[in-house]
Amino acid sequence: MKQQDQENFAQEDTMPIERKANTVMVVIVTVMIIIAGLAGYKYLLANKVEAQKAEVEQFLPTVTVIPAKRVDFSPTIELQGEVMPATETELISEIAGAITEVSPNLEVGNILEEGEIIVRVNDADYKTQLANAKSSLADAELMLAQEKARAEQSIRDWSKLGRGKKASELVQRIPQIKSAQAKITAAEATIEKTDRDVAKTIIRAPYRCIVDQKFIDDGAYLSAMSKIAKIYSVSNFEVRLPVSLDTVSFLPENNGVGSTARLTTKIGNRELRWDGNVSRFEGGIDSKTFSMMMVVNIASNKEQGLFKYPPKGLFLDAKIKGIKLDDVIKIPRIAIRENDRIWVLDKDKKLKIFQVEIIREERDHIYVESDLTDGSKVIVSPIAVPIEGMQLEEQKKANSVNPVKQKNG
């Protein structure tokens, strides 16, 4: 028993010594790791690798430029409109009656000469009315003669029996004479009217014209105000041209009235031309298109045979010379950017953005007012993200916008 207690006491006495030894070993190892790390850091610091400087490659946008030009410019105002006859008439009947004859020329598209008979209406009833009117006139004239004779006789009788008193109008038969004269006037007026009615039974072309529409045929009955035909003049045409309000300001003096217009069209492979003269503006402004209507009279072109005058309904292109614009800048249409701006390549090859005022737009070019100098390099190619002051490269070859690689040291 005593031996076992001695062994346990010996084990308990040796345990603190072993723990101390382990702790010392941990401290020693930790210190050695720290020393090794510091030594490694000093070595790396002493033997650090210098970074290699690499050249930066930069891609500059390449742009195509066109020099701006300051010019004096007279715009050509281009318009388009439809040909219409200047004189157009709807023939109607002023009398009633059965049609006895229709001219074979009264067909759509045919030309009628001035005064040519186109329709005859049965005139028997109107001639009867004329005869009756003449008979009434004769009766009225007879009555007037009788009343005058009676008046003379009455005045003679009054001079014998009137005891010196003045004869009254009734004694002198003045009312009867006035009545007879009024009947004569009425009979004469009836004769004139029936004469006109007889003449109206023959309907003639009022001027040299083309038949546009026909409303009657042989054997038909006409009532008063019945339509006969629609016609228009052979030699009096005009073209109506809508002009925008922006364009009106470029017309010559007096809104262009009196100016010459060049009128053209193409039929097949043939180009046809006419000269015209601006005659007037129709009143008012079209609120839907904000335009005014210019009317141009068309002169004949005898060299064009069938197309001496343009046919009704044909669309014509019109060109009119506008007023002169002094010292404006001419640039290509493709150079104008959003919000009426243009891009310019300055002398340092940097982007400069100008705000301009557009004066006149045409198919390929625009005329503007700006502070640009003559010869300024206007950019006509696209830039993905345009920033004023950005560095650019001018394209040496036209129509090429590929970027050029440059090096900056």
What's the pLDDT score for residue 403?
40
- Which pLDDT tens digit goes with each residue over 50-100? 656 656 566 788 899 989 888 888 888 999 999 999 999 999 999 999 999
In terms of pLDDT, which residue wins out, 375 or 164? Answer: 375
76-85+235-321: CATH number: 2.40.30.170
Q: What mean pLDDT comes out for the span 130-154?
A: 86
Task: Identify which of 369, 318, 378 has the alpha carbon closest to the alpha carbon of residue 346.
Answer: 378
Domain ranges of the chain: 1-49, 63-73+326-408, 76-85+235-321, 91-230
User: Residues 216, 221, 225, CA angle at the centre, nearest 5°?
Assistant: 75
Strands lying side by side in the sheet with 97-102: 202-204, 117-121, 97-102, 221-222
What is the Cβ-side half-sphere exposure of residue 365, based on CA atoms within 13 angstroms? 16
Cα(240)–Cα(281) distance, integer angstroms: 9
Task: Identify which of 136, 111, 132 has the alpha carbon closest to the alpha carbon of residue 211.
Answer: 111
The CATH number for 63-73+326-408, chosen from 2.40.420.20, 2.60.40.420, 3.40.190.10, 2.40.50.140, is: 2.40.420.20
- Which pLDDT tens digit goes with each residue over 1-38? 545 555 554 555 555 666 666 777 777 778 788 887 77
What's the pLDDT score for residue 7?
52
* Three-class secondary structure of residue 255 per DSSP: helix
Cβ(89)–Cβ(203) under 8 Å? Answer: no
In terms of pLDDT, which residue wins out, 164 or 250? Answer: 250
In terms of pLDDT, which residue wins out, 309 or 255? Answer: 309
Torsions phi, psi for 327 (to 5 deg):
55, 55
* Three-class secondary structure of residue 25 per DSSP: helix
Cα(65)–Cα(374) distance, integer angstroms: 14
What's the pLDDT score for residue 5?
54
Cβ(324)–Cβ(252) under 8 Å? Answer: no
- Which pLDDT tens digit goes with each residue over 236-275? 899 999 998 888 888 888 888 889 999 999 988 889 999 9
What's the pLDDT score for residue 110?
92
| Buried/exposed code over 263-277 (b: 16+ C-beta within 10 A; e: otherwise) | bebeeeeeebebebe
Cα(407)–Cα(362) distance, integer angstroms: 42
Cα(116)–Cα(32) distance, integer angstroms: 135
CATH fold of 91-230 reads OB fold (Dihydrolipoamide Acetyltransferase, E2P) (2.40.50)
